[in-house]
Amino acid sequence: LCFLRAVMATFISVPLKKSSEVDLVKPLSKFVTATYPQGEEQTEYLRAVEELNKLRKSALGRPLDKHESSLEILLR
């Protein structure tokens, strides 16, 4: 004979994490320009800051502006 035990699962309610829009570009760009001399390396880091900002906006689920959404469609 096989005995089955009823196991009751306990669930907890966790509120959704809300994120707000934060301007990371200005402080990070200021840091990069203060830390790295004018040149190719600085330009590369500034581009990376812009890319980080775009990725963060996408992760937040914000709608893309008209230009970005058009590019998104073309790149698929």
* Mean pLDDT across 2-15: 73
Asked if 49 and 29 count as a contact pair (C-beta separation under 8 A), the reply is: yes
Average pLDDT for the chain? 80
Question: What was the pLDDT predicted at 57?
Answer: 81
Please check whether residue 35 lies inside any domain of the structure: yes
Token pair listed for 34 = 């203060």
33/8 Cα distance (integer angstroms):
58
Q: Does residue 65 or residue 29 have the better pLDDT?
A: 29
Please check whether residue 56 lies inside any domain of the structure: yes
Is the pLDDT at 64 greater than 60, yes or no? no
Please check whether residue 44 lies inside any domain of the structure: yes
In terms of residue numbers, what domain contains 31?
25-75
**Diameter of the chain measured on Cα atoms:** 79
Please check whether residue 66 lies inside any domain of the structure: yes
DSSP string, 8-51: PPP----PPP-------HHHHHHHHHHHS-TTHHHHHHHHHHHH
Number of domains in the chain: 1
Please check whether residue 19 lies inside any domain of the structure: no
DSSP annotation of 7: -
